[in-house]
Amino acid sequence: MNDATTPTAPAATNFIDDIIAEHKRTDRFGGRVHTRFPPEPNGYLHIGHAKSICLNFGTAAKYGGLCNLRFDDTNPTKEDVEYVDSIQEDVRWLGFSWDERMFFASDYFEQIYAYAVELIRKGSAFVCDLSADDIAAHRGTPTRPGTESPYRNRPVDENLDLFARMRAGEFPDGTRTLRAKIDMASPNMHLRDPIIYRIMHAHHHRTGDAWCIYPMYDFAHGLSDSLEGITHSICTLEFEVHRPLYDWFIEQLGVFHPQQIEFARLNLSYTVMSKRKLLELVRTGRVNGWDDPRMPTICGLRRRGFTPESIRAFADRIGVAKRDNVIDVGVLEHSVREDLNRRAARRMAVLRPLRIVIENFPADRVEEIDAVNNPEDASMGTRKIAFTRELLVERDDFMLEPVKKFHRLAPGAEVRLRYAYIIRCDEVVKDADGAVVELRCSYDPETGIGGAQADRRVKGTIHWVSATHGVNAEVRLYDRLFTVENPDVAPEGLDYTTHLNPHSLEALTDCRLEPSLASAKAGERYQFERLGYFCVDPDSAPGALVFNKTVGLKDTWQKTEKQ
RNA sequence: UGGGGCGUAGCCAAGCGGUACGGCAUCGGCCUUUGGCGCCGACACGCGGAGGUUCGAAUCCUCCCGCCCCAGCCA
């Protein structure tokens, strides 16, 4: 089969594509597709946001449209520039570009205020003097209608005056609100005269002290989309019941009407995804910051060694639909392995060293051996590795009393040293406590690459590092942050934190790497043969290397061992 | 007991009246100087349940069951 006839996989489609196809058929938007990713800058982005980012930017790209980045910054008490910076960095890192289309809901405050005034003029909004508690009490319950505010029928002029004075700062926080006049008996709670403006004497990260009233998200969000000419306002399922409210505003104001489409947010097994909980993990020191490699944040995944490509592949793989879902974290892990397998250079590293001495190998001899950098990609070439009399191997690759099917080192057993010789363990040296401290071995000189017995087969091949040439490093191992698939399910009176995995981080400080890694730079990714994928942590420095384990290689041995 | 959504394999997810795509996981086998990668094969007589319409139903109709969301001056 040649390239011309190679079938290309059909682009994955989802229910949103169906909706867009219908819009094209009926010419609803003149063929335009314009989306946006609308985060609130009140926290760091996580893998759930990545799904949304890929969906929004991806959908626009698929139809030759555009995707804006817009910050929904309507609550100055929770937002910060730290977050607007990190969000931009993360979206860019994921590989998406909004060009010059970066906006803020706060850019539209004046316009949104004008919309509110217009609603008042139409008799569709009123200033309410009820306290927060009273408003809640008047709201009713899902099964019982609410009751109207005594201020609901204030004359338009009085509303106009009061609203202007709210803006002018005449009233303290919480004393008045502007409410839409809809229907206190609506079965949809969001239509029971929702608050659209509140008084907040707070400094805004962009507008400073220009405002002391701020629009509610429900009022600002849909109108911001409308102002930007967004055709498809993609959001998560919980906003489905808000849609009638957004549509109501748009109809009242007679402005451009985007189509809101709701999809199911991502849930990942063995972690939590709510910003509130992630913030809590950071603030209580359960993890070391937003970019802790155990966090499901974009910056955490980045520091952990994930590639943008792997995260995008993950997003494609999990699909988009409306049913609640919990994606097995194994799908994410598979996505990185798949990417790193073809891209990461191979190296040898010993995490828990066990010294072995090749007794029939001269102490002053150093053999330079060629090792393939990536068997998946010949263009990555080869490198030299030093074979010496004293080597370090993984403690796990030796068993004093080998179990069945253990194909590695054991007393009297033979094993292949990767790229080098077959050796036999002749003697086990123990310390006073009986702990194994060293292995005395012998090698078969004919079995090296190019040797007469090079093809001789033994059951196992293990990795190694020269004890005299290797460089030291710290390697941080990570396990899932929580011990259960769904940490939110906790016993009565306890919360998700009871499921925190006490062993989610293990720092190994006595690791030895092949010398070619001595100059490894932060962010570089490697496969440590037989172990997994690792990347250089920002904490790393020349002479004090620090690696993070991104993910282990698939380990069928571990599986058979458990059986 | 109100309203809005959703039920297809262990986890995702196609399917849009013509006899259940695909991925992850799992289980076999081949290959292998990474117990990696790759390759081959297995994996829903079944689509939440029960009726009905039809030559034919996961797809259409009826009823029932289950799960999620909504009572912030958060987003």
Look up A404 and say whether it is catalytic: no
Look up A561 and say whether it is catalytic: no
Where along chain A do its domains lie? 15-265, 275-345+473-562, 349-463
Pick A15-265's CATH classification: 3.40.640.10, 3.40.50.620, 3.30.1330.100, 3.10.180.10: 3.40.50.620
Q: What integer is the mean pLDDT of A254-280?
A: 97
Sign (positive or negative) of CA dihedral A163, A165, A167, A172: negative
Counting other chains too, the contacts that A21-25 makes at CB distance below 8 Å and 24 or more residues apart are A23/A231, A23/A259
pLDDT band at A492 (very low <50, low <70, confident <90, very high): confident
Q: How many CB atoms lie within 10 A of CB A187?
A: 10
pTM of the model: 0.96
Position A29 scores a pLDDT of 98
Look up A40 and say whether it is catalytic: yes
Task: Return the DSSP state at A359.
Answer: T
Catalytic residue selected from A40, A262, A514, A529: A40
Rounded Cα gap, residues A136 and A192, in angstroms: 11
Q: A10-23: buried (b, 16+ CB within 10 Å) or exposed (e) per residue?
A: eeeeeebeeebeeb
* Å between CA of A19 and C1' of B57: 25
pLDDT band at A491 (very low <50, low <70, confident <90, very high): confident
Task: Check for a shared fold between A15-265 and A275-345+473-562.
Answer: no
Q: What integer is the mean pLDDT of A311-322?
A: 98
Note the CATH architecture for domain A349-463.
Beta Barrel (2.40)
* A287: nearest Cα among A534, A525, A497, A82: A497
Q: Which nucleotides of B are covered by protein (CB under 7 A)?
A: 1-8, 10-16, 22-27, 33-38, 67-75
Q: How many CB atoms lie within 10 A of CB A144?
A: 9
Sign (positive or negative) of CA dihedral A447, A448, A449, A450: negative
The predicted complex's ipTM stands at 0.97
Q: Is the pLDDT of residue A5 over 50?
A: no
pLDDT band at A11 (very low <50, low <70, confident <90, very high): low
DSSP-derived 3-state class of residue A429: strand
Q: Is the pLDDT of residue A482 over 80?
A: yes
Give residue-wise pLDDT tens across range A186-197: 999 999 999 999
Q: Is the pLDDT of residue A9 over 70?
A: no
Interacting residues of A401 by C-beta distance below 8 A, sequence separation 6+: A410
Give residue-wise pLDDT tens across range A416-470: 999 999 999 999 999 999 999 999 999 999 999 999 999 999 999 999 999 999 9
Q: Is the pLDDT of residue A61 over 80?
A: yes
Task: Return the DSSP state at A141.
Answer: B
Rounded Cα gap, residues A271 and A506, in angstroms: 18
Provide the pairing of β-strand A34-37 with A414-417.
Answer: unpaired
Q: Is the pLDDT of residue A106 over 70?
A: yes
Q: To the nearest whole percent, how much of chain A has pLDDT over 70?
A: 98
Pick A275-345+473-562's CATH classification: 2.40.240.10, 3.50.50.60, 3.40.1780.10, 3.30.1300.10: 2.40.240.10
pLDDT band at A8 (very low <50, low <70, confident <90, very high): very low
Residue with tokens 């990555």: A380
